[in-house]
């Protein structure tokens, strides 16, 4: 009898051990973003885990109990925070230890998610950067903190490569005119403190209309400006116009994004991993994406009105109000986007104007001025311009005062005052109200 009990006890222990050691890591996924990174481990069963952090260098150590795994932990998109994920020596023979090597200190949060729809058990690791670095390629001056990033404007030169666009009566190609204006606008934006331009194309090559918003998203653009030249079968029509996405196309695109669940993370970030396809959580995803689309369309419309007001001082307007259309280049739900028709290349006089370098420079200046006016009013969160607006003061210029005198009085740089007030020169007038940025 005693022998039978011992055998039964041993059998139960072995069974318990086999169950406890049955977990495995099936896959690992990483979603880096500005200021945070999410790592998700797909597991065979519900995880039992503990974790702790180490300093110098910064590491997060996770111990998964009753887990054995040799699944690759290689990552191809570390982002600015996560350096490497690797296995380490486990604390006992039945567990697995994982180490996340970080570039700097981060706040951590770990939680398990039960199976839902086509996804199994998951362990989610959220890393929140406690001191985000400036974006690559952004030059910060002494008065900027690393949190004050540049406003990023994506500039899209219409057509290109095998697609010449419209052709004028004198043989001008739309693709060449749009690229010239785009490059002029790029240089002007890059000359502005707190702004940076990225080009969807910088040469004579083809990019699909749907691929252009993807370039803007890759660079985390705050705005997309697509530049085109209009055309008609008759030479009479002329003038500029500005276009935004139509509501019907916006609703269609929103539906497409909701159907593409694998792309939710591009818009929702870490929230996409928690949202499943059941009715209530799908409604949540639809609500979040809808709000993003509404914000983008509202911003696009406000900016388009400012572009029209600037263009009317340079050229005739074909349409005096923003127009709505179903252009593919405008369909990014998360990026405000406008399409500017700078004139009719099919009109002989406008074709001649568009081939005039000074005229193209004036068009680029108008687009820059409208963009600056909009972002001065509503700068994106986390940007230098947002910081200047939130911490600025005003000063009414009196007789005998100059920029250098005001800079000394308020302990700021002359260049900072000029940037905050969109000043090109050093002259100020009596009675002028200036924004004085923070020290």
pLDDT confidence band for 400 (50 / 70 / 90):
confident
- Say yes or no: 41 and 165 in one domain: no
Task: Give the per-residue pLDDT at 175.
Answer: 94
Mean pLDDT (whole number) for 82-103: 89
Separation CA 110–CA 127 (nearest Å): 9
Q: What is the mean pLDDT of residues 351-379?
A: 93
Does 256 reside within a domain? Answer: yes
Do 155 and 265 belong to one domain?
Answer: yes
Is position 382 within any domain?
A: no
Answering whether pTM is above 0.75, one says: no
What pLDDT score was predicted for residue 16? 46
Instruction: Answer yes or no: do 330 and 373 share one domain.
Output: yes
* Greater model confidence, 242 or 2: 242
CATH code, domain with 283: 3.40.630.40
Residue 368 has, within 13 A of its CA and on its CB side, a CA count of: 23
- Higher-confidence position of 37 and 302: 302
Q: For 29-61, how does the pLDDT look when each residue is reduced to its tens digit (9 = 90+)?
A: 888 766 678 888 999 898 888 988 888 888 999
Tell me whether residue 5 is in a domain.
Answer: no
Q: Do 369 and 400 sit in the same domain of this protein?
A: no
Q: Specify the number of domains making up the chain.
A: 3
Same domain, 357 and 419: no
Domain coverage including residue 164: 151-377
4 belongs to a structural domain: no
Q: Six-digit token pair at 3?
A: 């022998």
Confidence of residue 126 (pLDDT cuts 50, 70, 90): confident
Tokens of 413: 């740089």
Nearest Cα to 285, choosing from 247, 258, 249, 250?
A: 258
Using the predicted structure, report yes or no on whether residue 305 has a pLDDT greater than 60: yes
Residues 37 and 74 in one domain: yes
Residues 420 and 301 in one domain: no
Q: Could you count the other beta carbons within 10 Å of the beta carbon of residue 400?
A: 7
**Residue 168 pLDDT exceeds 90:** yes
Q: Does residue 289 carry a pLDDT above 70?
A: no
Residue 31 located in a structural domain: yes
Helix axes 403-410, 414-421, angle to 10 degrees: 110
What confidence tier does 137 reach under pLDDT thresholds 50, 70, 90? Answer: very low
135 within domain boundaries:
no
Q: Residue 3 falls within a domain, yes or no?
A: no
Is 362 contained in some domain? yes
Same structural domain, 239 and 365 = yes
Residues 256 and 353 in one domain: yes
Residues 250 and 159 in one domain: yes
Cα-Cα-Cα-Cα dihedral sign, residues 61, 64, 65, 68: negative
Do 85 and 170 belong together in one domain? no
In this predicted model, what pLDDT tens digit does every residue of 191-240 receive, in sequence order?
Answer: 988 899 999 888 888 888 888 888 888 888 999 999 999 998 899 999 99
Q: Residue range 8-30: average pLDDT?
A: 63
pLDDT digits (tens, 9 = 90+) for 254-277: 555 444 544 444 444 444 444 445
Q: How far apart are CA 104 and CA 80, in angstroms?
A: 9
Least confident of 132-136, 201-205, 348-352, 404-408: 132-136
User: Using 50, 70 and 90 to split pLDDT, how confident is the model at 178?
Assistant: very high
**pLDDT of amino acid 358:** 95
Q: What is the mean pLDDT of residues 339-350?
A: 94
- 315 and 411 belong to one structural domain: no
What is the domain-level CATH number for residue 403? 3.10.350.10
Is residue 385 very low, low, confident or very high in pLDDT (cuts 50, 70, 90)? confident
Residue of higher predicted confidence among 4 and 196: 196
Q: What is the CATH number of the domain that holds 62?
A: 2.60.40.3500
């Amino acid at each position: 009898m005693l022998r039978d009990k011992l055998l039964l006890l041993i059998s139960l222990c072995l069974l318990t051990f086999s169950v406890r050691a049955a977990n495995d890591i099936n896959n690992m996924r990483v979603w880096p973003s500005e200021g945070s990174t999410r790592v998700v481990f797909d597991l065979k069963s519900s995880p039992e885990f503990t974790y702790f952090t180490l300093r110098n260098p910064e590491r997060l150590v996770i111990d998964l109990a009753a887990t054995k795994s040799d699944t690759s932990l290689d990552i191809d998109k570390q982002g600015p925070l996560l350096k490497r994920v690797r296995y380490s020596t486990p604390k006992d023979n039945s567990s697995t230890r994982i180490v996340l090597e970080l570039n700097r200190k981060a706040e951590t949060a770990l939680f398990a998610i039960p199976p839902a729809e086509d996804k199994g058990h998951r362990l989610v690791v959220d890393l929140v950067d406690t001191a985000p670095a400036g974006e690559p390629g952004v030059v910060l001056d002494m008065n900027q903190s690393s949190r004050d990033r540049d406003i990023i404007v994506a500039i899209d030169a219409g057509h290109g490569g095998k697609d010449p666009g419209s052709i004028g009566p004198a043989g001008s190609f739309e693709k060449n005119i749009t690229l010239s204006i785009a490059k002029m606008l790029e240089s002007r934006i890059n000359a502005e403190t707190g702004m940076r331009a990225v080009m969807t194309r910088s040469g004579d090559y083809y990019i699909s209309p749907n691929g252009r918003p993807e370039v803007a998203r890759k660079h985390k653009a705050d705005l997309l400006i697509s530049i085109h030249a209009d055309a008609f079968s008759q030479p009479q029509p002329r003038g500029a116009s500005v276009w935004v996405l139509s509501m019907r196309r916006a609703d269609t695109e929103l539906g497409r994004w909701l159907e593409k669940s694998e792309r939710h993370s591009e818009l929702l970030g870490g929230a996409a991993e928690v949202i499943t396809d059941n009715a209530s959580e799908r409604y949540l995803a639809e609500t979040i994406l809808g709000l993003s689309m509404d914000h983008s369309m509202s911003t696009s419309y406000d900016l388009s009105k400012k572009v029209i007001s600037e263009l009317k001082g340079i050229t005739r307007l074909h349409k005096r109000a923003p127009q709505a259309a179903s252009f593919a280049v405008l369909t990014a739900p998360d990026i405000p986007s406008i399409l500017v028709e700078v004139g009719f290349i099919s009109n002989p006089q406008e074709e001649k104007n568009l081939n005039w370098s000074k005229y193209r420079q004036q068009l680029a200046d108008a687009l820059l001025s409208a963009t600056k006016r909009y972002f001065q009013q509503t700068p994106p969160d986390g940007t230098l311009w947002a910081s200047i607006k939130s911490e600025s003061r005003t000063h009414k210029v009196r007789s005998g005062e100059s920029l250098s005198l005001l800079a000394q009085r308020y302990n700021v740089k002359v260049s900072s005052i000029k940037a905050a007030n969109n000043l090109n020169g050093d002259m100020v007038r009596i009675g002028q109200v200036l924004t004085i940025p923070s020290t």
